[in-house]
Amino acid sequence: MSFYIHQGDNWTDFTWNDSALSVLLGKVRNLQGKLSGKMEMLGFVLQQEALLETLTLDVLKSTEIEGEFLNVKQVRSSLAKRLGMDIVGLVPSDRNVDGMVEMMLDATQNNQNPLSSQRLFDWHAVLFPTGRSGMYQITVGAWRTGVIQVVSGGFGREKVHFQAPDTVLLNQEMEVFIDWFNAEQNLDPVLKAGIAHLWFITIHPFDDGNGRITRAITDMQLSKADGNQRFFSMSAQIQKKRSKYYEILEKVQKGTSDITIWLAWFLECLTEALLNTDIILEKVLSKARFWEKHRTTLLNDRQHLMLNKLLDDFEGKLTSSKWAKMTKCSSDTALRDIQNLMSKGILKKEDLGGRSTNYELVM
């Protein structure tokens, strides 16, 4: 019978070794400062583009950690609509996409609003609009009423990695957590994000969706730590290190209230997330440089549409038949559009060739 951290007396009186974390925390704070400086130089429009890229990555990767894969175009469109951004190629989005987007935006854009049980219930309700998780009916918009275990292995070979606190304790446990989260403490806001993540995921107060809501709470606190705008994705980094993430959680949840190893891992993960923002920034800046280069080039509406798609989230190879289908024009018109762009040095034929001719952007 395993002993879990939440079974100890005053289990949330967490302790950690400041000297063991100081270098890691200093590196995070330094990277946050550098990123903030870079973003201020971009201007509002490019900041919004970077924010859209970051939030799209956040929503996609937070669900992928749970084994669910959302449509990237739907996620991007849902976010753009709610952020009031005018982008090309908007598509309708499913309810499960909109629910994840609504929760993430409420957590990060309204991060100064206090957390409450009702706010958490609202987040949970938009994640499960049908009242079901897959085939199973669950309690939605309220604390769970059953036992929660994290289990792996097939039938007869199950291994219990973690068991959450009993349901009779949930009201009290969540009241303490929410009061702590809303209160001002003499605590670095980045460390607070790490503690909040571990604390909430350990309580596991819902039938399902605990991981996604945990990451929303983490992003909410990290947004506060970053001065209300966050241009990196912690969820994307956790998804890359998914196995290690669950391994370190299990170790800490079966340990004592000294959570130094968890906070060290959290800071290391955050460091890598901050370093990876260069990829997002380069994509945004590359797009901006492209349109600056071609700001006086005469283009028709179909060409504008397709060039933006190629710069954003185009899937597969560009062919004249794809062009015709996506712009709802004839094959001849599509070929003329492409040839016109080739004459202007914007598109070129791919070297690989093959059965059909493919085209690519000249950046």
The per-residue pLDDT for range 337-363, each reduced to its tens digit, is 999 999 999 999 987 655 678 998 998
> Which candidate, 361, 221, 195, places its Cα nearest to that of 290?
361
Q: What pLDDT, on a 0 to 100 scale, did the predictor assign at position 1?
A: 58
pLDDT beyond 80 at 229 = no
| pLDDT, position 23 | 97
pLDDT tens track for 194-212: 999 999 999 999 999 999 9
Instruction: Return left, alpha or beta for 316; rule: phi > 0 is left, psi -120 to 50 is alpha, else beta.
Output: left
pLDDT at 2 over 90: no
Range of the structural domain that residue 344 is part of: 300-361
Of residues 214 and 67, more confidently modeled: 214
Q: What is the pLDDT of residue 142?
A: 96
What is the reported pLDDT for 353? 58
Express as a percent the part of the chain with pLDDT over 90.
Answer: 69
pLDDT category, 35, cuts 50, 70, 90?
confident
Q: What percent of the chain has pLDDT above 70?
A: 97
Residue 266: C-alpha distances to residues 147, 195, 196, 212, 259 (Å): 28, 9, 11, 16, 11
- Whether residue 159 contacts residue 150, with contact meaning beta carbons closer than 8 Å, is answered with no
pLDDT at 226 over 80: no
Among 220, 247, 281, the domain-final residue is 281
Helices 117-127, 210-225: crossing angle, 10 deg rounding: 120
The predicted pLDDT at position 354 comes to: 58
pLDDT for position 49:
87
Each residue's pLDDT tens digit, 297-329: 999 999 998 998 898 878 888 999 999 999 999
CB of 127 closer than 8 Å to CB of 209? yes
Q: Are strands 149-152 and 159-163 parallel, antiparallel or unpaired?
A: antiparallel
The total number of structural domains that make up the chain: 2
Q: What is the pLDDT of residue 228?
A: 61
* Model confidence at 156: pLDDT above 80: no
> Where is pLDDT greater, at 147 or 170?
170
**DSSP state letter for 129:** T
Kindly report the average pLDDT of the chain as a whole number.
91
Rounded Cα distance between 219 and 51, Å, is: 13
Are residue 277 and residue 356 in the same domain, yes or no?
no
346 Cβ partners below 8 Å, 6+ apart? Answer: 294, 297, 307, 361, 362
The confidence score (pLDDT) of residue 285 equals 80
218/3: higher pLDDT: 218
pLDDT one-digit tens code per residue, 238-289? 999 999 999 999 999 999 999 999 999 999 999 999 999 888 788 888 887 8
Residues belonging to the chain: 363
Type of residue numbered 135: M
Residues 328 and 249 in one domain: no
- Dist. CA 268–CA 274, nearest whole Å: 10
DSSP state of 360: E
* Residue linked to tokens 């598509």: 91
Task: For residues 54-59, give the mean pLDDT.
Answer: 93
Tell me the C-alpha to C-alpha distance, in Å, between residue 263 and each of 8, 26, 64, 111, 227: 20, 13, 23, 22, 21
Asked if 253 and 356 sit in the same domain, the reply is no
240 and 357 share a domain? no
pLDDT tens track for 68-94: 999 998 999 999 999 998 877 788 999
Closest CA to 174 of 138, 153, 140, 199: 199
* Residue 286 covered by a domain: no
In a domain, 289, yes or no: no
The residue whose two tokens read 């609504």 is 102
Does one domain contain both 88 and 166? yes
Q: Are 225 and 193 in contact (CB under 8 A)?
A: yes
Q: Which CATH number is 193's domain given?
A: 1.10.3290.10
CATH classification at residue 313: 1.10.10.10
Q: Are residues 258 and 313 located together in one domain of the fold?
A: no
Same domain, 274 and 208: yes
| The predicted structure's pLDDT at residue 118 | 98
